[in-house]
Amino acid sequence: MNEQIQRVRQEVLDAAKKMVKAGLVASVWGNLSARVADSDLVVVTPSGVEYETLTVNDLVVVRLDTGDVVEGSLKPTSELNMHLAILRARPDVGGVMHTHSVYASACAVARCSIPPLIEDMAQVVGGAVSVARYALPGTVELGQHVVQALGNKGAALLANHGVVGVGETISEALRVCVIVEKAAQIFALSKMIGSPVLLSQEDVDFLRHVYKTSYGQKKST
Q: Which amino acid is at 42?
A: V
> 84 near 147, Cβ under 8 Å?
no
**Choice among 11, 52, 79, 181 that is catalytic:** 79
> 105 near 161, Cβ under 8 Å?
yes
Asked about 71 being catalytic, the answer comes back as no
Write out the DSSP string of the chain. -HHHHHHHHHHHHHHHHHHHHTTS--TT--EEEEE-TTSSEEEEPBTT--TTT--GGGSEEEETTT--EEE-SSPBPTTHHHHHHHHHH-TT--EEEEE--HHHHHHHHTT--B---SHHHHHHHSS-BEEEPP--TT-HHHHHHHHHHHTTSSEEEETTTEEEEEESSHHHHHHHHHHHHHHHHHHHHHHHHS-PPPPPHHHHHHHHHHHHHTSSPPPP-
Q: Rounded CA gap, 207 and 117, in Å? A: 12
Q: Which amino acid is at 133?
A: R
List residues with catalytic annotation. Answer: 79
